[in-house]
Homo-oligomer: A and B are copies of this chain.
């Protein structure tokens, strides 16, 4: 259930700039001088927490990727979010007495920093910047999810998939780490494994993208672009 690998020191943490505490001003740094967190690693496929659990922990991802999934009554899964390094998750615990609203699963070997809700709340009372940063992250999250919803609600399967790949890869033209199975893609985009496979196989044949052992390359960005806005 996750291997403890040591205490983290927020002040000197290499990913602090990308983390929640990246918002602190020089003068506020003493606030987290003695702040420690637990750093934990998980193997691919391991569950970090389950929907409904009540641990008082909030997480920052340091390395790797994680998926957050919701299940409907019939046990079908919808992936609602993909977590990247620097992202905060489990943050719904900031609502009084709530439990986790997703199941969080590691897509690859990940390193996570655990932060206690209570300690974070103490900190919030001392720094308005932290509150602002939390609000901004939450509001950005709303927008991203609305964007996701818009793609799923409006686009055809190939456009959805093309949109996602472009988002994932960004503007890099080198191979990019791609730890996402066909199944995950399908559950993220509201499709079936087969449709996802058909499109990607087709694009691989026509050379638009290429794949080799968890690495993805977009060879013809323009082609994907035009599919995604068709």
Contacts and interface: CB of A to CB of B under 8 A. Distances in A.
Interface of A: 70, 72-74, 76, 78, 80-81, 91-92, 94-96, 101-102, 124-125, 128, 131, 134-136, 138-143, 145-155, 189-190, 229
Kindly report how many copies of this chain are found in the complex they form together.
2
B152 A152 contact: yes
- Is the contact region of chain A dominated by helix, strand, or loop, or is it mixed? helix
Contact of A78 (B91, B150, B189, B190): B150
A142 to B, nearest CB: 5
A136 B148 CA distance: 21
A153 B188 CA distance: 8
B154 A153 contact: no
A80 B152 CA distance: 12
Contact of A154 (B78, B128, B149): B78
B138 A135 contact: yes
